[in-house]
Structure formats: structure tokens, C-alpha cells
Structure 1
Amino acid sequence: MSNKRSSIFIPVTVIIIGFALIALIVFSKPPQSEKKDVDTRPIVKVSPAKPEQHQVRIKGYGELRPLERTVVSAQVSGEVIKWNPNFVEGGLVKRGEVLFEVEPDNYEVALLQAQSQLQSAKAALVEEQGRAEVAKREAKTMPNERVSDLYLRKPQVMSAEAAVKLAEASVKLAERDLANCRVIAPYDALVVRRELGTGQFVSTGMNVGELYNVERAEVVFPIAGFDRSFLPVNLKGKDALISTQDKYSVNRSARIVRDTGIIDQQTRMGHVVVELEDPYGLQRDLPRILFGSYVEVSFDGLVLNDVVKLSQDLVTNNRVWILNDDKTIKQKVVDVVKEEGKDFLIGDGLEQGDNIVMTIPEFPQEGMEVRLEGDKKKEKTEKNKTSETVNAVLTESTEG
């Protein structure tokens, strides 16, 4: 009995498996008509145009340099008796610090001599004024024709007064020379060079060093012709940002002080000057930017209205691809107002809601039919549903 059942069960099983294989082949292979109807339209992604306000940021590059440089010279002749330990190459000195000092003995003596001469001149003036007063009283008893300026000692008094003024001037010169024995830093400074030592004899006007002002620095950087039209009307006093171009970027606030007012004949560029206070961070706890650093300067230009920002890859010969309502693409001529990095700022040509093609087909043509990226996802969903239906049929056949 069991043999009969087995002989019946095996053929039935073979038949069921055969039908299942046929169903699998039928449902897994697309019909010939579907092969002919394969959708070859390229898939694109679009984004609606949104004209908006845009703040233009203007950038330039230049070298940070001191606002002023001073060659240090000896004001008097003599032997150097001491110098400031910070008065060395790379040293920083404060405004009013003594850089070096010349032996003052000779100048102290000269001042004493000048002061002595001044006292003598003043005494001579008092004596002469007394004589003039006596002559004036005597002249009252004499006929007018016999009284002259010489008799009244007016020339002698004038000469004595001049001698006093000369002596006073000599005292001032002696005081100045004595003060100049101590050479003072005119501002907070970086010492670039020093060429003297203790015991060295220096003469008046001798070059002994050089200082850079570290209270303020400046950057002179070029403005290209295509950026000049985006400069603010009142440039002076505008805030700017200075950034170093090394691995560890340093940012410092600065301000624009002037436009040089000249267009370079070779480069056809103008230049703007930005001033940075306390570049070495001596007055405040700020990161220092060294003289000679190549820096980027950026500041706000004009504000543009109703512009669209697009990647340069989407703009070819001032044309942009747009998706029509019928799923075809066309080109629109646009006005490129400005280039900013890898983007273009588009002025005229695009309207609110224009669907800009963000993924351009490999060989785009006017009127080409395309599919949206979302449509592809819908197709995948439908295919998944079909596959699930086939699997369900196979499962039911096997269980039966």
C-alpha cells in the first residue's frame, strides 16, 4: 500500500515542481514588450530658484608691514656706557625706554658753563639798566638837543638784553645735548638691528640700529577691477578681518584707513590700505601676527538684491539648464554678476520657482526628456512589489 502511495506522490511532486519552475521563469523574465519599452530618459535632480539678498565679501592678499620704521642714530658724540638688554635683534622695547646711553660728563660741564654765562649776562643787563636809569634822570636837567639815545644808554641796554637771550639759547642747547646722551624709544618697537656696544665711540648722526613700530601695522593689498564696483561707498573706517595663511590660522580685527587713489598702470588694479593695531599683542592678550606674514584681508562690500547662487559647474557660457513642466529641459541665458569661490552669483535670467537642473545629463540637448530622481525611487518600489508577488505565488505552489 505504501508503495502505491509513493508511486502516486512522486509524479505529483515532480509535476508541482515543474509548474513552479515554469511560473518562476514566466514571472522572472520581462515580456518582450517590456524590453521594448525600457525608459532610457536620463535621471536628473532639480532645485527651485530662490532669488535672495546676498552680502558680497571682498578678499585680497598682501604682506603685513610696520606702519613706520626708524633708523636709530646717535644725537651726540661720545663713548657708549650702557645699553638696554632688550636693544637686540628681535627684542621688544616699550615707548620711552632708554635704548643706550652716552657718557654725559662733558655735556654736564657744558650745561654748567652755559648756565654760568647766562647768570653773567643777566647781571650785566641789570647793571646796564641801572646806568640807563641814572642817565635818564640826568637828562631831565639838560636841554633836549643834548640828550641822545647813546647818552641814555639805549644801545648798551639792547646789547645786554641780546647777550641774555644768547646765553639762554646756549643753556637750552646744552640741556638738549645732555638729554640726548640717553637715546629713547619713540614708540613700542621691535628691534630689527643694533650696531653698537659698551665702550664704543659714536659720533653725532651715526647709524646704530633700526626699529619697527609695533603699535600699528598695515597691509596694502590690490583690488581687482571686477571687484571695484562692489566696494562700499564710504570705504574709510570699515571693519575688516586679517587672517594668516599658515597651518594654524590667526584671525585679527582691523579697519580700512584709505584707498591709495591710484590704478596701477601694469596690473590695472587699485590698492586699499588696512591698519592693524598692536600686531604683536603687547597691549592686549591677542595672538600675534609677525611682520612679513602673507595674510588674507576680507571685508563686506555691497549688498546685492535678488540674486541666485549657483555652482560654476551648472553654468556654461552664461546658460543654465531648466526643467519644464513637461519633463523636458531647456537652456536659459543668465547674467553672471560676480564670481565667489566655486560659485556664480546670478542676477537676471532666473525667476522665482524655476527648476534648475542640478545634475546635468552627459549629452544634454534642448527639449530632451528626463526623469526626476524621485521617479526612479517609485519604479524601484513597484519592482519590489512585483517581486514580492512572484515569491508569494511560488510559496503557495510549493506548500500545495
Structure 2
Amino acid sequence: MISKSLRWLLPCVILAGAYGGYSAIASTEPEPDSAKPNKSLPVVTVSPIRSSNYNVVISSHGELQPVEVTQLSAQVSGEVISWHRNFVVGGVVKRGEVLFEIESDNYQAAVLQAQAQLASAQAMLIEEKAKAEVAKRQAKNLPQKQVTDLYLRKPQVLSATAQVKSAQAALKRAKRDLDNCKVVAPYDALVVARDIGVGQFITAGAQVATLNNVEAGEIHIPIAGFDSAFLPESYAGLPAKVLLRGLNTVEREGAIERDLGVVDTSTRMINVVVRVEDPYGISSDKTPVKFGSYVEVQFVGKELEQIYRLPQELVNNQQVWVVNENNELEPRTVNVVRAEKEFMLIAEGLSDEDQIVLTVPEYPQKGLLVDVNVSDEAIIF
């Protein structure tokens, strides 16, 4: 009887224990917070802006070329007996240096012969003048009709004078040919090609070398249509910066010399010529820039008034974001007049009182209330 009572009592004890454990656990749960949390405002960083006048920088690229290329020829014929040690391909020679020399014995003999002919012609002239003086004195005792130019030996004097001038011209040519036996550099030059050697016989007029003038170089740079609008009225003589990009950037000073005067029919661009003095650094200690180098050229164009210069990432589809006096986002449509590398030049749509948003929220909306963090420095360009 007692065992039956225990079988019915045991399940009741287990159920009572379970209910007591549930009540204890439920009593330890925190009470639900009926109040909703406050949603924080998006934080944006803003900066005041200031307009200023700005000089447009025009940039283009081109190849450095020699101002002058000379196909060097000999003016006399003869055997080459020596040449300058720098008169080799890649060598640099200075203005007036003797590049090579032609055997000159025949030309020295020609000078001596011309000198002898001149002396003979001068002697004949002296003799004819003396005879003419004698005839002039004798003519005083003759009737006027008998005194003719032939009697006074005027034709003979004129002929002797002509012989002297002819001999002088022959001597001048002989001396010139003798001087031309030494072929000199017409300017500071880079030897591009040489077609002669010692012992070789060359004829007058034969091409013997190709020289590039290294006293100056020039770069033909194309100016695109959107850049040509910012060219000054007169740009000849404007200084230009020439940059050779590489492991170490080389910078040289140049100047705009002229434009080519025509519009390229294929690109519809104009081409401006920039001159660089002493590109190989022959007369200075400047870093050489070799012909054929592809360089960047920068020069200052027109001055734009009251311009805002903003980083490109702040301008999206001709629009920037500002924060108004109520700390609300406000889009502004702006007029971008020019893009220069990582900046946009803006002429209209902003004012000096605006606060430009530097950190735009992920989903910006007009009228969105924001928490403003003001940058320490204004964007002033």
C-alpha cells in the first residue's frame, strides 16, 4: 500500500521541482527596455572655402629634337690625313674645332702660283702706267686730233688693271681652298654619322658626316582644343618647364619660341615650338637631356578670376555637397571650367560662405541632418 503511494507521489515531486527551477530562472531575466534607443546623426567633416585668381597651367608632351641638322661635305678634293678624336659617332665637338684635315700640298702650291701671277700682273700694270705717263707728256707737243686714248695707252692700262684683279681673285680662291683643307665644326655638334677615314680620298661636295646642333634643341608640343582656349593672347617668349620623367626627374628651363602656324589636319591641334638652350650641358653643368627624349612641357596660360580649386573626389557629375546653416546637407550644381590633374577649377555655383563637405555620407540626401566636424584649415587655392 505504501509503495503504491510512493509511485504516485514521485512524479508530482519532479513536476514541482521543474516548475520551481523555471520560476527561479525567469526571475533573473532583465526587464525588457520599452524605450527605443536614440539613433545617432551621421558625422561629416566640412571646410570653408575661399576663391582666388588662378593661373592655368598647360601641360603637353613632345620629343626633343635638334634645331639644326647638317649634312657635312668637303669643299675640296684630296686624301684625308687626320681627324679629331671626338669626330666619331656619338662624339661631341665644339664650334670651330678641326674635324678632319685633307692633304694640302697641291693647294699650297696653288697659292704660290697665284701669288706669282699676281706679282706679274702688278708689274705689268706698273709698266703700262709708266708708258701711259710718257705718252701723256709727249702728247703735249702734238695736235689735239692726234692724241687718242690708244696713244695715251688707256686700254693697255685698263687691261693690266683687269689682269691684277683676276690674279687677286685667283689668289683668294687658292687661299680659300687651302683653308678648306681643314674642315671645322660649324657649331657645337653631336656627330650622328661619319663616312670617312684616314687615307681615304674624297671629292669636293661628297657628304662625309651628319651633325646635330647641340647649342639648342626644340620640342614640338600639340595643344588640344580645350587647352587652346586658355592660351594667352601672346605666348611667344613665355618661359616653360621641361621635365624628363624617370627614376630621377630631370628639369630644364625652356621658352616658347613660336607655333607652326597651321592646324594639324589629322588631330585638329596646333603645335607650339619650345626651345631649350644647351640641352647636352656642353656650356654648363646642367643635366643633359638627349635628342629623342620624350619630355613633358608645362607653361602658364591665362589667369582665371575668382576660381575655386577643389579635389576631384569632391565633385561628382558637376555637383558638390555643402552643409547649410541648419546643419543639413545641400547639393550644389557647379560650373567646372577645367580639370587639372587631381583638381577641378570651378567658376560658378559656390560662394565664400559655403561649407564644403569633405567626407560625404554613403547615401547623402538633400536636407539630411548631420553632425558637423569643422576642419582646421580652409580650402584656399
TM range (shorter): 0.7 to 0.9
Q: Secondary structure at the match of 1:45?
A: strand
- Normalising to structure 1: TM-score of the pair? 0.82
1:243 aligns with 2:243: yes
For 1:34, the aligned partner's letter is K
Tell me what 2:144 maps to: 144
Q: Secondary structure at the match of 2:262?
A: coil
Deviations 1:105-152 (A, max 9, x none): 011111111111111111111111111111111111111112211111
Return the offset for 1:283. Answer: 1.2
Mapped partners of 2:122, 2:303: distance in 1: 73
Return the offset for 1:373. Answer: 5.2
Mapped partners of 1:374, 1:155: distance in 2: 109
1:38 aligns with 2:43: no
Matches within 5 A, 1:1-400: 25=30, 31-35=33-37, 37-39=38-40, 42-365=42-365, 367-372=366-371, 374=373
Identity of aligned residues (%): 49
For 1:310, the aligned partner's letter is L
Mapped partners of 1:33, 1:261: distance in 2: 79
Matched-pair contact (CA < 8 Å) for 1:240–1:255: yes
Mapped partners of 1:89, 1:221: distance in 2: 28
Mapped partners of 2:219, 2:69: distance in 1: 15
Moved over 4 A (4+): none
Tell me what 2:22 maps to: none
Matched-pair contact (CA < 8 Å) for 1:46–1:372: no
The 1:303/1:130 distance shift into structure 2, 3 A limit, reads same
For 1:359, the aligned partner's letter is T
Mapped partners of 2:184, 2:139: distance in 1: 58
Q: Secondary structure at the match of 2:348?
A: coil
More displaced stretch, 199-208 vs 220-229: 220-229
More displaced stretch, 312-321 vs 182-191: 312-321
Q: What is the number of equivalent residue pairs in this alignment?
A: 349
For 2:39, the aligned partner's letter is V
Q: Secondary structure at the match of 1:260?
A: strand
Deviations 1:147-168 (A, max 9, x none): 2111111111111111111110
Tell me what 1:3 maps to: none
Mapped partners of 1:107, 1:190: distance in 2: 30
Deviations 1:53-77 (A, max 9, x none): 2232221111111111111111110
Deviations 1:199-248 (A, max 9, x none): 00000011111111111111111122222232234422222211102221
Mapped partners of 1:248, 1:78: distance in 2: 49
Matched-pair contact (CA < 8 Å) for 2:46–2:373: no
- Normalising to structure 2: TM-score of the pair? 0.86
Return the offset for 1:285. Answer: 1.2
Return the offset for 1:42. Answer: 4.3
Q: CA RMSD in A?
A: 2.1
Mapped partners of 1:84, 1:147: distance in 2: 66
More displaced stretch, 253-262 vs 208-217: 253-262
Matched-pair contact (CA < 8 Å) for 2:44–2:373: no
Mapped partners of 1:102, 1:183: distance in 2: 8
Q: Secondary structure at the match of 1:280?
A: coil
Unpaired runs of at least 5, structure 2: 1-24, 375-381
Mapped partners of 2:111, 2:36: distance in 1: 115
Mapped partners of 2:273, 2:348: distance in 1: 34
Mapped partners of 2:205, 2:159: distance in 1: 35
Deviations 1:7-64 (A, max 9, x none): xxxxxxxxxxx9xx77xx56xx8x34324x534x544332222212223222111111
Matched-pair contact (CA < 8 Å) for 1:44–1:370: no
For 1:178, the aligned partner's letter is L
Matched-pair contact (CA < 8 Å) for 2:52–2:308: yes
For 1:56, the aligned partner's letter is V
Mapped partners of 2:301, 2:162: distance in 1: 64
Q: Secondary structure at the match of 2:162?
A: helix
